[in-house]
Amino acid sequence: MRLTSIMAGAIAIAGHSALAQEAPIKSSTPSGLFGFMDDSTVIGQGVFNPQYSFTPSWSAGSETLSQKVTLNYGVTERFEAGLAVSYAPTLNAGNAGNSHAWNVSLPLQYVFVQRMQNGTGFALVSTPALGWQDFNNQSSNRQWSFDNHLVIDHDFDGRFFAGINIGYTASNTYARSGRTPGGTLYLQGGGTVKITPHFYWGIQAQISQQLNDFVSDPSGWAAFLGTSVSVPLTSTATLSAAYMRQLVGRENDTPSARLNTQSFSQNMAKAMLSLYF
Q: Are 70 and 81 in contact (CB under 8 A)?
A: no
Cα distance between residue 18 and residue 16, in whole Å: 5
pLDDT of residue 108 exceeding 50, the answer is yes
pLDDT of residue 165 exceeding 60, the answer is yes
pLDDT of residue 21 exceeding 70, the answer is no
> Region 258-266: what's the mean pLDDT?
91
Cα distance between residue 7 and residue 136, in whole Å: 84
> Region 222-243: what's the mean pLDDT?
95
* Model confidence, pTM: 0.86
Phi, psi of 21 (to 5 degrees): -70, -35
pLDDT classification of 218: cutoffs 50, 70, 90: confident
DSSP the chain: -HHHHHHHHHHHHHHHHHHHHHSPPBP---TTTTTTS--S--PPTT-EEEEEEEEEEEETTEEEEEEEEEEEEESSSSEEEEEEEEEEEEEEGGGTT-EEEEEEE--EEEEEE--BTT-EEEEEEEEEEEEEEEESSS--EEEEEEEEEEEEEEEETTTEEEEEEEEEEEEEEEETTEEEEEEEEEEEEEEEEEEETTEEEEEEEEEEEEESSSSS-EEEEEEEEEEEEEEEEETTEEEEEEEEEEEEEEESS-TT-SS-TTTS-SEEEEEEEEE--
Q: Are 252 and 220 in contact (CB under 8 A)?
A: yes
Looking at residue 216, what is its pLDDT? 82
pLDDT of residue 7 exceeding 70, the answer is no
Phi, psi of 213 (to 5 degrees): -135, -165
Looking at residue 140, what is its pLDDT? 84
Looking at residue 16, what is its pLDDT? 44
pLDDT of residue 153 exceeding 80, the answer is yes
pLDDT for 115-134, tens place per residue? Answer: 888 999 999 999 999 999 98
pLDDT of residue 222 exceeding 80, the answer is yes
pLDDT for 69-105, tens place per residue? Answer: 999 999 999 999 999 999 999 988 767 678 999 999 9
> Region 247-262: what's the mean pLDDT?
87
pLDDT above 70 covers what percent of the chain?
A: 89
Give me the architecture of the 31-275 domain, per CATH.
Beta Barrel (2.40)
pLDDT for 54-66, tens place per residue? Answer: 999 999 889 999 9
pLDDT of residue 14 exceeding 80, the answer is no
> Structural domain boundaries of the chain?
31-275
DSSP 176-220: TTEEEEEEEEEEEEEEEEEEETTEEEEEEEEEEEEESSSSS-EEE
Determine whether 33 is exposed, middle or buried from the number of CB atoms within 10 Å of its CB (0-12, 13-18, 19+).
buried
